[in-house]
Amino acid sequence: DQQVKQNSPSLSVQEGRISILNCDYTNSMFDYFLWYKKYPAEGPTFLISISSIKDKNEDGRFTVFLNKSAKHLSLHIVPSQPGDSAVYFCAARRQGAQKLVFGQGTRLTINP
Amino acid sequence: GAGVSQSPSNKVTEKGKDVELRCDPISGHTALYWYRQSLGQGLEFLIYFQGNSAPDKSGLPSDRFSAERTGGSVSTLTIQRTQQEDSAVYLCASRSNYEQYFGPGTRLTVT
């Protein structure tokens, strides 16, 4: 049972344009959501998070949007840069729980 | 500053052998997690340690898998009688507040 889904295994975007990465979840008990970025041969690094009491959180070029009614969140990167090329994982945490449930990841490629 | 470190970075083993993977968390982090990432898959939770509490082992896939954390710091993940389906990248993470900080992982290949 995949509780967190990233349906796009890959995404290709031109440098300078907006990258939009999507994530869907099924468990309504999730109350905290995170995005991680992973380069090859490295561990995932935390990027940005959002609590379920918010619908938007912004940090520089990165913005995460949460639509609770649709159980959907997205990560917007604008403008996209070549260094943003990586695998992006969406993760969710249930209220009171300590472990994260991850999606399958989306490989983002930024083309010059 | 020292992040989470894991050793070895790569491990190739024959089916049926036992392996031990090591994780050194960030100093002072009381929470430690093990995940694995199989090819084309997301990160799968294995086990979670928090201070002196009993670990959450709910993600361990079989009784061939075990983990311990000595002195609230270093952790070892042991896989007994390895199988080919155990081949994956095993990631360790430690946490202070909300965010988990990951190590670079150990790539395990069972031949």
Q: What is the pLDDT of residues A52-106, one digit of tens each?
A: 999 999 999 999 999 999 999 999 999 999 999 999 999 999 988 888 999 999 9
Backbone angles phi, psi at A26, to 5 degrees: -115, -20
Q: Which chain A residues touch B if contact means CB-CB below 8 Å?
A: 4, 6, 9, 32, 34, 36, 41-46, 49, 89, 91, 98-105
In 3D, which of A111, A99, A105, A92 has the Cα closest to residue A29? Answer: A92
What's the topology of domain B20-96? Immunoglobulin-like (2.60.40)
- Chunked into runs of 10 residues, chain B (111 residues) has average pLDDT values of 90 97 93 91 91 90 94 92 97 87 96 96
Mean pLDDT of A4-32: 96
**Closest chain B CA to residue A89:** B42
| Residue of B25, B5, B26, B39 whose CA lies nearest to B108 | B39
Which residues in chain A have their CB less than 8 angstroms from residue B93's CB? 43
Domain count of the fold of chain A? 1
Using CA atoms, how far apart are residues A17 and A73, in angstroms rounded to an integer? Answer: 20
Q: What amino acid is encoded at A4 in this protein?
A: V
Domain positions in chain B: 20-96
From B104's Cα to the closest Cα of chain A, the distance in A is 4
CB < 8 Å to A100, chain B: 33, 43, 45, 100
Residues 6+ apart with CB under 8 A from B81: B16, B17, B18, B64
- What's the domain range around A34? 4-111
Q: How far apart are CA B9 and CA B25, in angstroms?
A: 15
Q: Is A89 in a helix, a strand, or coil?
A: strand
Q: Which residues of A touch B50 (CB under 8 A)?
A: 98
CATH number, position A21? 2.60.40.10
